[in-house]
Structure 1
Amino acid sequence: MLRNILFNCLLVFLCVTAGYAQEKQLFYVGTFTSEGAEGINYCSLNTETGDIDLLTTFKGIDNPSFLRLSPDKEFLYTVSRTTPEVEPSGGYVVAYKLDTIGGLHFLNKQPANGSGPCHIDVSPDRKYVAIATYGGGTTSIYPVNEDGSLKKALTVVKNTGKSVHPNQTQPHAHSIKFSTKEPSIFSADLGTDQLNIFHFQNGSLGRYNQEFVKLPAGSGPRHFVFHPSEDVIYVINELNSTVSCIRKVDEIWSIFQNISTLPKDFEGESYCADIHFSKDGQYLYGSNRGHNSIAVFKVNPDQKLTFLGTVPVEGDWPRNFGITPDGKWMLVANQRSHNITVFKIDTNSGMPEFSGKQISLPAPVCIEFR
């Protein structure tokens, strides 16, 4: 209790400091407690200097690896990986209420319905939360109560199939997102090389005539982003280090480009992780674990990509990264080197430039801006 009071006093002091609102960007960091972290970190980025400060750590949760704020920024939801002894399904989805200064207050949790929960999203109307589980190969939909807490899963879909890579002997649902344009949910399954397409209505998942987009064998689709028009989806593939560009024409989604995230002369092992647009939508970025870089692409008028090069992340195993809401900064969570590195984005070239600033944090794996 005393610790929470001191934390609240500190934030109040910071908030009344002249220029704080203009110079500080607050964010949460998801972590792996199995690798030395203690929970969800709450940090502040100085948007003038690039300095990061750790404000506090919210403890008492196992492996809060991926986080998502509700659209109104009133609630935070996270997946939590646990052991079968703690939860037979292999994990939870957890709900928190935010107070006015960013403190997290536990609401409730529900079973993940699959081992290794790894990704989460919140519907645009804040009425549903969706998660994907890597080990279980499942996608689940949870209705949200008025107070932000979660009801039991209304729909659980277990994927089937496999592919050609040694890591693809079974389904591995790795990401899930609600469409903001139509009643659809998309989910990338690394184990089956599919971007699954679900019709979503009243909390239930159904199937369209086109149930999925098949990606190249052994590609391992991991995360994806919608083009602002939402008629194009860019999927980053973990196992073959590529981005697949998928366009919807006459109600059918199909691939129109596959492009590497690595320099042509690279010969080592590398595995893609995350993907994000620049604020203006003119550039696309992807993280390479192994090559330890951010790949930079120009988005052309025809929505194809041109590879511009890579930027070293100044760390090891860049998992998730985030671009600040003002579009000026990129923060890279380097899981194995236990640091978050800070890059200033050149708005003319789209290239991230290392600022020289970083913060040491155990096993950071996800960044969510408040």
Structure 2
Amino acid sequence: MTQAGLPTFADELALALDALEAGRVDIPVIQPAEPFLDMAGEDLRRRIFLTESETGESLCLRPEFTIPVCRAHIAESVGTPRRYSYLGKVFRQRRDGANEFFQAGVEDLGEPDEARADARAVSDARTLVSSFAPGNALTVTIGDQSVFEAVVAGLGLPAGWQKRLIHAFGNEQALNAMIARLASPDESAALDDTVAGFLAAGDASGLEKHIESVMEATGYSTHASRSPAEITARLMDKQALASTRLSPDALDALKTFLALDVPLDRAAETLAAFASSAGLDIRSAQTSFEARLDALSERGEDLSSIHWRAAFGRPLDYYTGLVFEIAAGGANLVLAGGGRYDRLMALLGAQAPIPAVGFSLWLDRIETVRAGS
């Protein structure tokens, strides 16, 4: 190891990563910014260090490893399944701690047995944290984006609201605000009386003609920005979202689901009981959820020591299923986190969908916990 500032346990960690049969990948520090800005999520986007090339290309300092590891895999056109490991600096603006710090981790691409791959990611991460932060009680928390999506879909909300709720998953404050709006819709936005009339009648054709006439009368070119049809569609969509209200039963079901928090050995029965009580058909998501529990048990993981929280998510937009974090120490510092991101590879340009799951270790936090143990 030649990188300055590496923690004292870095060499041992490198050997431990090699033992996981995950080939080491070297990722350049300077990365194209667009993939992170488009796919990483608001929390990471606002922390990225941006710059620009002489040709005007938007660039950034590497803020995480998952996206560039996936891009490198696609560029090399190699087969799957394939595991990669990494160990290096990431660069993020942070309120507390240094803006550059070391992360290590594993990305598991193309394993068709998703339950097995999920269980391996959780188990490998827990084993590594246990090895390099010994003597600390670990808190392992698991969530599932796909189960949340299935519940939201089962409630019968408009697609726009489903998308909003899914986007907010893992952000408790944003999610609570959206649920409050669904309980008491805000229809107070000031609109022109004529526009409001068309919207109330659901008359998209009339609204489009009205907008077109206003644009012509004011000399506003219909080619300068959005067309009357695009403006109409946007207004109709916003009206539908603003006026949507969850029924008391559906609202209660959503709140009940988000309050579920049980040890993992009770998670399957708890989820099944909820679905039955709420009258929701989420069998496909339940099947995948239970398969993961079986795979974790087969790896020797103690399910009673892991917690499932239905509301638990991680602030990265690319997750699609399993999400998890491992914390330790008196301050309950998050030392490792990861999850499944099946849509990401296709979004980055893969010619076919590639299932994927991974995790990262926060080496500065592990070092802090080691120093206090």
TM-score range, shorter chain: under 0.3
User: Which is strand-richer, 1 or 2?
Assistant: 1
| Bigger Rg over Cα | 2
TM-score relative to the length of structure 1: 0.27
User: Which is helix-richer, 1 or 2?
Assistant: 2
